[in-house]
Amino acid sequence: MKIVGIDLGTTNSLITFCDNENGIKIIPNRLGKNLTPSCVSVSETGELFVGEIARERLVTHPELSVAGFKRYMGTGKKIALGSREFLPEELSSLVVRSLLEDAEIYFGEKVDEAVISVPAYFNDAQRKATKRAGELSGLNVGRIVNEPTAAAIAYGIEEKANHTKFLILDLGGGTYDVSLLERSDMVMEVRGVSGDNFFGGNDFTEELMNMAADKFGLDIKEMTHKDRAILFKSCDEAKKLCGPHPVIPVSAVLEGKLRETEIKSDDYERQCKELLIRLRKPIEKLLHDTKVKIDEIDSIILVGGGTRLSFIRTYISRLILKFPCFSINPDEVVAIGVGYQGAMKARNKNIKELILIDVCPYTLGTSVSVERGNGEYESGHYLPIIERNTVIPVSRMATVSTLTDNQREVRVKILQGESRLSQNNIFLGELTAAVPPAPAGQESVEIRYTYDINGILEVIVMVLSTKVTKKIIIEQNPGQMSPQEIEDRLTELAALKIHPRDEEMNKLLLARGERLYEENLGDERLYVAQCIETFERALHTQDRDAIKHAQVVFAQQMDAIDSNIFRG
């Protein structure tokens, strides 16, 4: 039985297998190329195109072509392609099917099973959507493997030293992952993951697009879809010249006119300053979570086409104080690692068996009410039960009590995310347990979350007085809230009654507190929450002197927490 490895990327996809004589081999597509663009297009007559042709049609027929749909996996978002609508996993299945046809022609026989890679920061819905994409193409998806883990396997499978720590930065076209892995003997342990599912190399291309449009005297927002596609492709190619050349030439036929300009590489790098900060933040978060210092990292691995930009490599080198490894083509390294995984699953005798220990990438918890003083409670606060980067499989338990006299039921909302407020996290499901009527606080419910290696969450709720239990297994696809949806929700909340907390300084301090809550875990996270709640109580008094004093205290508390982890 042949098991192939598939790197299903935002920009390009690849398929690999283990050759008994030559190790892992990339199967070329029908054009003889290793990379198949993750693009789909449909002709006016309904004929589908996948890969290189579809990528070309992104420019010529933008309304009939689509790319970058991986960003929306698991969200339920419908993507229009001509007169049709597709889910992102349906579009992805067309890419997988194209890869599969290439492999079956190469082998001269049918392929039934595959291992597919996903960004480490993909949530459960996104992982299940990826698996469904493989299944829609007719494959049995034997395993989902994290892209950074696959890259570490490709680089470290023959590593002899024990306790080798790999920091993997995977900057694809539309997603960004940072993972820390440690290898000991033939065990590869994922110590932690971080990332941004709505950030990638395409953002750097768009920055160059904005600069070029300004030079041309054009407003990108007013350009046609087709002209934007043309300019994007031109800038995507042109940005590769940044670094080796002092200027970046950009030329494109826009509005029927050839336009040419030159942009200084230094100016482009300065323009990307905010993007580099965005590149840095997940690294800070990961090292903070894992409590690993910079000098403890043995090797940095760069993955994804986005890492080809010279100033990104320079920035990472200065940040981590080491030269990154990129001896393996960054566009192919994940596919090679996934090929190893496929070979291990097939029990290939020529491949060393490697044990993988993974983590839960997101915090899982429930919604509770917290005391505000004077016997008053405020609902909608998040109670983490399994915190992010916990080694899986894992089982954790929390106990909650009734809030009101003669309360007859406890409703347990199952949530995923990092926000202090329940409404900003992802709703996964709900359980309701009946409790005997009693004075407030006398009836308690035990909530147990169990998360396994396949990304399936089991929740058991037990009423302690009656021992009655209820159980739910979360296998449905809850969707993924985009940054825009979160922003829209916060805008709705901001429209409520004007209050001292809405003053600029208060808003800034609260936003900083929320950020630090999301970045920290355990006791530090609890401390930040307590500081926020104390500050909010001061705001509720509407006493300006008390608020001014609270501002100073809260700022000092946040300064103490918000230390720079790169100092060590």
Length of the chain, in residues: 568
Check if the beta carbon of residue 392 is closer than 8 Å to that of residue 438.
Answer: no
- Of the candidates 180, 175, 214, the one whose C-alpha atom is nearest the C-alpha of residue 195 is 175
Annotated catalytic residue, options 70, 128, 165, 285: 70
Angle of the 544-561 helix axis to the 522-541 helix axis, nearest 10: 170
- Of the candidates 270, 267, 279, the one whose C-alpha atom is nearest the C-alpha of residue 203 is 279
- Look up residue 92 and give its two tokens: 């992805």
Q: Is 274 a catalytic residue?
A: no
- Strand, helix or coil at 263? strand
Pairing of strands 84-86, 457-463: unpaired
Cα 184 to Cα 356: distance, rounded to the nearest angstrom: 11
CB atoms within 10 A of CB 89: 26
- Look up residue 517 and give its two tokens: 């809550």
Burial class (CB in 10 A: 0-12, 13-18, 19+), 80: exposed
Q: Is 170 a catalytic residue?
A: yes
Annotated catalytic residue, options 89, 90, 147, 289: 147
Annotated catalytic residue, options 124, 170, 207, 289: 170
CA-based end-to-end distance of the chain: 50
Cα 28 to Cα 272: distance, rounded to the nearest angstrom: 35
Handedness of CA 416, 420, 422, 423 (dihedral sign): negative
Cα 149 to Cα 172: distance, rounded to the nearest angstrom: 15
Cα 418 to Cα 408: distance, rounded to the nearest angstrom: 30
Q: Is 519 a catalytic residue?
A: no
Angle of the 273-290 helix axis to the 310-320 helix axis, nearest 10: 40
Cα 502 to Cα 463: distance, rounded to the nearest angstrom: 41
Cα 196 to Cα 286: distance, rounded to the nearest angstrom: 12
Residue 453 to residues 167, 347, 394, 448, 456, Cα–Cα distance (Å) = 22, 20, 9, 17, 7
- Look up residue 484 and give its two tokens: 């825009």
Q: DSSP assignment of 137-200, as one string?
A: TT-EEEEEEEHHHHHHHHHHTT--SSSEEEEEEEE-SS-EEEEEEEEETTEEEEEEEEEETT-S
Q: Is 177 a catalytic residue?
A: no
Give the catalytic positions in this structure: 7, 70, 147, 170
